Chains A and B, each alone.
Chain A
Amino acid sequence: MANTQLTPGVVSGRLAPEAYRDNFADKAPPLTAHEAAIAADRCYFCHDAPCVTACPTSIDIPLFIREIATGAPRAAARTILDQNILGGMCARVCPTEQLCEVVCVREVAEGRPVEIGRLQRYATDTLMAEGAHPFTRAEPTGRRVAVVGAGPAGLACAHRLAMKGHAVDLFDAKPKAGGLNEYGIAAYKTVNDFAQAEVEWLLGIGGIAVHNGKALGRDISLDGLRSDYDAVFLAIGLGGVNALRAEGEEKSHVRDAVDFIAELRQAEDLSSIAVGRNVVVIGGGMTAVDAAVQSKLLGAETVTIVYRRGREAMGASEEEQHLASSKGVRIVTGAAPLRILGEGAVEAVEFAYTKETEAGLDLTGETFRLKADQVFKAIGQSLEGAPEGLALSGRKIAVTGPGRTSLAGVWAGGDCAQGGDDLTVTAVAEGRDAAEDIHATLMGEG
């Protein structure tokens, strides 16, 4: 081991080989059957349960937990997957502490919710471990639908369409399907290549042809798809990364956090990933936390998240912030970057404290510098490469109802479309609902 946490610059192999395995182990290990039984017993089977209302995919949570409690985890998984075909991934990455679990009546009463997320994982893992796909396709309709983007929205839409008997071509620019599940989530949240396993399992429905390496605007065009298919669903995500607009942003070792996270997820050997000794992450969302925590786990000596507003405004959930703190990441709020300093490569970042004013966020005159040999930009992604002719709403594709765009026969959902939080679970709901609408539209025509 040539390098250590104290080696200057951006280098790989800062840790002993076994440290990588420990650091990137499952963040929340699965429940055993015994633990699941105890956890399930705590559910009150509420009437019109608040957890269901809080779930963007409206999973019947009390029902699936009762199914677990009564020894029928496969039935529980069906209940989950009926509503959310990516229930396995959502069980791992959903911010349950902001959605179903925060409104659990036991959270309200005791400060300790039913462990809905972990129970959902127990059920879906049980079913998926058996390998069989639990859904079957309806009789072929003869209709063909193009789905662009194989992330959560695209996968959910494709699956529902296939179930209804339509033939689906699923295009994605990347070499693998999965979207952010595959490229955009911290490694310790989805171990053992779960994202790919889930995609394979999902495709078990049949009727979905996946075409990787096909980018919209490069290899395929919306016009072409519209003429070749009966309907098109766009789930192209947010391909652009917002710029810092700070002086010196072009210096080396200043990079987009999403690229770093993707590189990490695709790495065969984590010790090959280079990371700085002093890392600064600029931003306040889940991406910032994923980049910061993983930098620390790769052996960075100091990692600091700097966010321009207060903690309460951070996109990262409280639990994510706690996770970062527990891993030794320092979170500085109320400061914005002014300049990236350094000769060629970054050496430090200069920040100014901010203050909230009626007009918006203002910089104060007070500045400070953080030593940095690596800087990650995590200040948000934006829609890139939206096809001509599609109406936008703000910076996203405008939609009405279940994902209908301004163009007939074209639907959109997931992060690229207006409405909803940019969450996996929201994307799944949008993909599913658009599929239902596409189906109704196509069959109505027939």
Chain B
Amino acid sequence: MADLRNDFVGIKSPNPFWLASAPPTDKEYNVVRAFRAGWGGVVWKTLGEDGPPVVNVNGPRYGAIYGADRRLLGLNNIELITDRPLQVNLDEIKSVKRAWPDRALVVSLMVPCTEEAWKAILARVEDTGADGVELNFGCPHGMSERGMGSAVGQVPEYIEMVTRWCKANTRMPVIVKLTPNITDIRLASRAAHKGGADAVSLINTVNSITSVDLDLMCPEPTIDGKGTHGGYCGPAVKPIALNMVAEIARDPETRGLPISGIGGVTTWKDAAEFMALGAGNVQVCTAAMTYGFKIVQEMISGLGDWMDRKGFSTLSDFTGRAVPNVTDWQYLNLNYVTKAQIDQEACIKCGRCYAACEDTSHQAIGMTPDRRFVVKDEECVACNLCVDVCPVEGCITMRRLAPGEVDARTGKPVPAEYGNWTMHPNNPGTCAAE
């Protein structure tokens, strides 16, 4: 049976599934329920500096978008950091850590940009026995207007500066949580790295308006006739998060920097994908908020089952295994030629592949009067749209043409050798580069 134990920058947990710093981790009651359900760790909801706590809106905090059957695909929120007194949180953290010593307990922090502020809070967190801190440089709403959260995370120099302060003032591992609301995630991760971060975690939520109330003519969630952008999360942001994780994982300047993957992790498979792209563990929020804490049991059993099938005995057996296969477009093999093929037995004759190809692609699927859909190899550019729109998984697949086989579209045999854009005769830079 696969061993799911996780060691992330020295923080040990029985599995790689942590709850991200968010509403589910705001108090002892929830966190204990999460640990009972089986979560490997928790990043406590962000603490602010001592004093009067922040206040939240008293209207709706969340907006959503849905897929079929009202399945929640994306959630956005305008909730701020914890609105409970600092000491209450610290006491509860201490109590939880004492009762659950085998679980990871990391504390998320966000205080104003002065070394004194960070130094003060770090000492108090250390006193709880927590395993580490996560610097919230990502929160895109409310706190950012006050010079914190993503207001820091969007300026690499600030990231580096604050990270350095924290490293100088605590023995705890420091994880820097990054905002995706930037143009190049690598600048942020490099800054964290330079500041001495033990790890980065990403992504925080994405600036978003999920919907507009067309009666009120106002963004949702609507507070007394007004709305504001919120932080977007859930399955819909996973592709954005995966790309950013991969960009950091393959960046020579940050190679080896531990990453805690966040962003739409909903199933064991999502977690495995993040980890294959270099994440040492994952953090989950929206899936728990949608289905409750019990989902971690599917994540644990599913990941273990997959690892057993693949012959992976520990998490490190597959962590980062997909990173070498993330490359730039220019290095993709242009001599890799495929054609769509439709399994007539599996086909349910809905014709969506035909509509998609005929209307929006390459007119490469024919339709007979008895609704038989067949790919025209001479037109098919292997774009994959038919595969993507087909409701039956596995019905349409891409068949690779063997070297020497003639591509009916170009009339040329498929070359056996690898050939990419940098070598291609149409590339104006090819000669110059030689």
Contact = CB atoms under 8 A, between A and B. Distances in A.
B92 to A, nearest CB: 39
A189 B61 CA distance: 46
B348 interface: yes
A445 interface: no
Nearest to B346: A109
A45 interface: yes
B350 A41 contact: no
A109 B351 contact: no
Nearest to B71: A41
A49 B349 CA distance: 9
Contact of B69 (A38, A50, A108): A38
B355 A108 contact: no
B70 interface: yes
Contact of A46 (B68, B69, B70, B352): B352
Interface in B45-87: 68-70
A37 B68 CA distance: 9
Given A44-B391, A47-B354, A47-B355, A105 B69 contact: no
Contacts of B371: 48, 50
Contacts of B392: 109
A90 to B, nearest CB: 24
A174 interface: no
B350 A47 contact: yes
B352 A45 contact: yes
Contacts of B349: 46, 50, 105, 108
A41 B71 CA distance: 11
A229 B180 CA distance: 74
Nearest to B354: A47
Interface string B350-387: 11101100000000000100010000000000000000
Nearest to B391: A44
A214 interface: no
Question: Chain A contact residues (Cβ within 8 angstroms of B): what range?
Answer: 10 to 19
A105 B351 CA distance: 10
Nearest to A108: B348
A47 B350 CA distance: 6
A42 to B, nearest CB: 8
Contacts of B70: 37
A39 to B, nearest CB: 10
A344 B68 CA distance: 64
A141 B151 CA distance: 70
A106 interface: yes
A105 B355 CA distance: 15
A109 B394 CA distance: 14
A42 B349 CA distance: 15
Nearest to B67: A41
Interface string A100-143: 00000110110000000000000000000000000000000000
Nearest to B355: A47
B343 to A, nearest CB: 13
Interface string A19-59: 00000000000000000011001101111111000000000
A106 B352 contact: no
A47 B356 CA distance: 9
Interface string A72-109: 00000000000000000000000000000000011011
A41 B391 CA distance: 13
Given A37-B70, A38-B69, A47 B348 contact: no
Contacts of B352: 44-47
Contacts of B351: 46-49
A97 to B, nearest CB: 18
Nearest to B392: A109
A44 B389 CA distance: 10
A105 B347 CA distance: 9
Contacts of B68: 41-42
A185 B69 CA distance: 35
A109 B371 CA distance: 14
B348 A105 contact: yes
B69 A41 contact: yes
A42, A44, A108, most chain B CB atoms within 10 A: A44
A148 to B, nearest CB: 39
A5 to B, nearest CB: 45
A106 B348 contact: yes
B348, B355, B367, most chain A CB atoms within 10 A: B348
A105 B349 CA distance: 7
A44 B395 CA distance: 15
A33 to B, nearest CB: 12
Contacts of A37: 69-70
Interface in B152-185: none
Contacts of A50: 349, 371
Given A50-B371, A109-B392, A44 B350 contact: yes
B352 to A, nearest CB: 6
A337 B349 CA distance: 46
A109 B367 CA distance: 19
Contacts of A109: 348, 392
B386 to A, nearest CB: 12
Contacts of A48: 351, 367, 371
A281 B95 CA distance: 79
Contact of A105 (B350, B354, B367): B350
A49 B348 CA distance: 12
Contacts of B367: 47-48
Contacts of A42: 68
A106 B70 CA distance: 20
A368 to B, nearest CB: 46
B306 to A, nearest CB: 27
B44 to A, nearest CB: 37
A48 B348 CA distance: 13
Interface in B273-318: none
A50 B369 CA distance: 11
A296 B354 CA distance: 50
Interface string A330-372: 0000000000000000000000000000000000000000000
Interface string B3-40: 00000000000000000000000000000000000000
A42 B67 CA distance: 12
Nearest to A107: B348
Contacts of A45: 352
A332 B141 CA distance: 73
Interface in A251-300: none
B350, B351, B354, B392, most chain A CB atoms within 10 A: B350
B101 to A, nearest CB: 46
A38 B69 CA distance: 5
A31 to B, nearest CB: 14
A49 B351 CA distance: 8
Contacts of A47: 350-352, 354-355, 367
A41 B392 CA distance: 16
A105 B352 CA distance: 11
Nearest to A46: B350
B300 to A, nearest CB: 30
Contacts of A106: 348
Contacts of A49: 351
A49 B352 CA distance: 10
B198 to A, nearest CB: 45
A106 B352 CA distance: 13
A47 B367 CA distance: 10
A195 to B, nearest CB: 35
A44 B349 CA distance: 11
Interface of A: 37-38, 41-42, 44-50, 105-106, 108-109
6 contacts: A46-B350, A47-B355, A47-B367, A49-B351, A50-B371, A105-B350
Interface of B: 68-70, 348-352, 354-355, 367, 371, 391-392
Given A37-B69, A41-B68, A47-B355, 9 more contacts: A38-B69, A41-B69, A42-B68, A46-B351, A46-B352, A48-B351, A50-B371, A106-B348, A108-B349
Q: Which 3 A-B pairs have CB atoms at the shortest separation, nearest pair first?
A: A47-B351, A47-B355, A41-B68
